[in-house]
Amino acid sequence: MNGIISDNTFVFDARGVAKRFRHAAIFGALEALREGEVMRFINDHEPLPLLQQIGQRYREQVRIHYVDHNPEQVVIDFSVHPLNHSEAAAGGGCGSGQGSGCGCSGG
């Protein structure tokens, strides 16, 4: 399953990406999202190290919602949200995207 589910939900099927490239590809996809858009992530296992990295890198700006969780498949929706002013002032998370995505790689 690849492609677009709706106007603001895009599928990222990690099962088709070589393991050594997965995290870099996922971070690139997250950083391409605009506020309000969703990346539906599909994997064959629970991505605990990835979730920890996402939490450290994006903090509250990227939110996680499990859609499906079983031994054969894990489906997670990642969505991008604006930081509140206190988080941005404290340097928590990204926020440099100025309303057009996360902005972490835009440095």
Domain that holds residue 22: 3-106
Q: What is the pLDDT of residues 22-78, one digit of tens each?
A: 999 999 999 999 998 999 999 999 999 999 999 999 998 999 999 999 989 999 999
Residue 85 has pLDDT above 80, yes or no: no
- Into how many domains does the chain fold? 1
Alpha helices in 1-107 (DSSP H): 22-32, 48-58, 85-89
The model's pTM is 0.74
The torsion of the CA quartet 52, 10, 36, 27, rounded to 10 degrees, works out to 30
Domain CATH number, residue 13: 3.30.110.40
Average confidence (pLDDT) over 93-100: 44
CA distance 97 to 35: 9
pLDDT for residue 107: 37
